[in-house]
Amino acid sequence: MIDIHCHLTSARFKHDRDAVIQQASRRLEAVITSAIHPNEAEKALRLCEKYPSFVHATLGLHPVYAAELTDEELEAYLNLIRRNRSKIAGIGEIGLDYHWISDSIRIGKMKKVFIDFLQLARELDLPVVLHLRNAIDEGLDIVMKNKMREVVFHCFNGTTRQSEEITKNNYYVSIATNILRSENIQNVVSKVPLQRIVTETDSPYLGPRRKRNAPQNVSLVVDKLAELQGLSPTEVDEITSQNARRFFNIGSQNSFKTSAP
């Protein structure tokens, strides 16, 4: 099993981060941690170095932070990503968020930053992880206009029509642990081809029973997908893990050796 999207650099893992990763490694093949701000990028890269072949990273900028960076800070961050291209699995999460962002000036900056990161992904030939809150249709339109090839819609909670448009364009939807309590997601995902699905936890968020989430809970997503699609958990795991390996170009072996403390 692979958790394609979590936040291991979160302060909520401050006191037991290594224990969380060690526990996850007993169940999972790999995890991909997402840095959503420049302050998290170096931390994410250090985790990749400490847990090689198990922890991978995507570097991006959550849309709620897009308006906070000056042009100079943004360019410095883009250059940091360029320098570390060989160490990362993708760009993300990036996108649009109309739940938290409503001011027209901030919206304008958010859209510009979104495009900047898409262009960076094309330049570096890396896949993209999208955050689109109340913005799936617009986000899909933007990635298509920018001729993006490898795109995953993180924490997908859209409609059947939207999932059909996404998969028709050979993009992926990522299903998180909120599938356990959302009838809408369950109904939609039951019809999505498994070949276009990857799994995630978004931990420490979206935890079962509203508790702190952890990467190994991706097994609950696999189990639920199996139930909805009438397959065994093993079949779902094999297909979704293969999807994740191909999409992020990561290996199939969990063989990390913890670096010295």
Q: Tens digits of per-residue pLDDT, 169-197?
A: 999 999 999 999 999 999 999 999 999 99
Report the pLDDT value the prediction gives residue 253, as an integer from 0 to 100.
58
Please state which architecture CATH assigns to domain 2-248: Alpha-Beta Barrel (3.20)
The pLDDT of residue 254 is above 70: no
Specify the pTM. 0.95
Cα dihedral value 66, 70, 76, 77, nearest 10: -10
Nearest to 132 by CA among 194, 62, 202: 62
| Contact between residue 152 and residue 198 where contact means Cβ atoms under 8 Å apart | yes
Report the pLDDT value the prediction gives residue 251, as an integer from 0 to 100.
85
Mean of pLDDT values over 8-14: 98
Report the pLDDT value the prediction gives residue 252, as an integer from 0 to 100.
66
The pLDDT of residue 116 is above 70: yes
Q: Tell me the percentage of the chain whose pLDDT exceeds 90.
A: 95
Residue pointed to by tokens 């993708």: 90
Domain ranges, ordered by start, for the chain: 2-248
